[in-house]
């Protein structure tokens, strides 16, 4: 099976999730967020098709990374391929973060997306909203986006954000009370 990527696996990232991470840049996105910084990743036929087995070999060579982040593009548009990779990543004892323009509550309604979600530790969800952009936020671009503890959320059947990433802007706590516009 192949996955469409926007770029080769990036190593040694410290800005796309906690710790030192490798990034899988998926190609293809339909959210069309105004102000998106990754517009070259939108074309569903862009980037390059890569064999998943080849990526597994690259992942096995990682040495200092704590985990892997799926970004893009929209990883959940390739949920089946991402599931296969994510299963392998967990078998290597690496944690998984994933950025998505979808929201958690919609992802769990879709069988293939849910299957991928079940391998993820931390989900940064929701579209980037330019009017809610803030440089004070940790690991996300706009204040509507939430940093979600996926395993606890699935277990307790409600969306649970990770409070250590909460940020107070103008006396308002963001992400605990994040407002989602889609």
Could you say whether residue 31 binds ligand SF4 (CB under 6 A)? yes
Among 9, 10, 11, 38, binds ligand SF4 (CB under 6 A): 38
At 10 the three-state DSSP class reads: strand
Tokens representing 142? Answer: 């706009």
Q: How far apart are CA 65 and CA 71, in angstroms?
A: 16
150 binds ligand SF4 (CB under 6 A): no
Binding test (CB under 6 A) with ligand SF4, winner from 16, 74, 121, 125 = 74
Say how far apart CA 140 and CA 133 lie, in whole Å: 9
End-to-end CA distance of the chain: 32
Nearer to ligand SF4, 65 or 74 (CB): 74
Q: How far is the CB of 39 from ligand SF4 (least distance, A)?
A: 7
# chain residues binding ligand SF4, by CB under 6 A: 13
Tokens, residue 19: 């710790």
Q: Does residue number 72 form part of the binding site for ligand SF4 (CB under 6 A)?
A: yes
In the complex with ligand SF4, the residue whose CB is nearer, 38 or 151, is 38
CA angle 47, 74, 102 (to 5 degrees): 170
Instruction: Tell me which stretch binds ligand SF4 (CB under 6 A): 46-54, 69-77, 161-169, 172-180.
Output: 69-77
101-140 binders of ligand SF4 (CB under 6 A): 101, 127-128
CA 78, CA 54: separation in Å to the nearest integer?
Answer: 17
Dihedral angle computed from the Cα positions of residues 20, 39, 135 and 146, in that order, rounded to the nearest 10 degrees: -70
Q: Does 143 bind ligand SF4 (CB under 6 A)?
A: no
Name the 3-class secondary structure at 156: helix
Which stretches of the chain bind ligand SF4, using CB under 6 A?
29, 31-33, 36, 38, 41, 72-74, 101, 127-128
């Amino acid at each position: 099976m192949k996955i469409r990527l926007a770029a080769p696996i990036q190593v040694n990232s410290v800005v796309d999730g906690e710790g030192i991470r490798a990034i899988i840049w998926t190609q293809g996105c339909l959210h069309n967020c105004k102000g998106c910084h990754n517009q070259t990743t939108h074309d569903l036929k862009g980037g390059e098709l890569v064999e998943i087995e080849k990526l597994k070999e690259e992942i096995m060579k990682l040495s200092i990374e704590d985990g892997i982040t799926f970004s893009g593009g929209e990883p959940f548009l390739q949920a089946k391929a991402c599931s296969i990779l994510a299963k392998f990543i967990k078998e290597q004892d690496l944690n998984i973060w994933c950025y998505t323009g979808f929201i958690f509550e919609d992802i769990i309604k879709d069988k293939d997306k849910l299957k991928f979600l079940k391998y993820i530790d931390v989900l940064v969800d929701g579209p980037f909203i330019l009017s809610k952009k803030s440089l004070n936020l940790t690991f996300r671009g706009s204040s509507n986006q939430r940093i979600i503890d996926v395993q606890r959320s699935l277990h307790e059947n409600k969306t649970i954000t990770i409070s250590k990433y909460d940020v107070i802007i103008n006396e308002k706590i963001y992400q605990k009370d994040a407002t989602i516009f889609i």
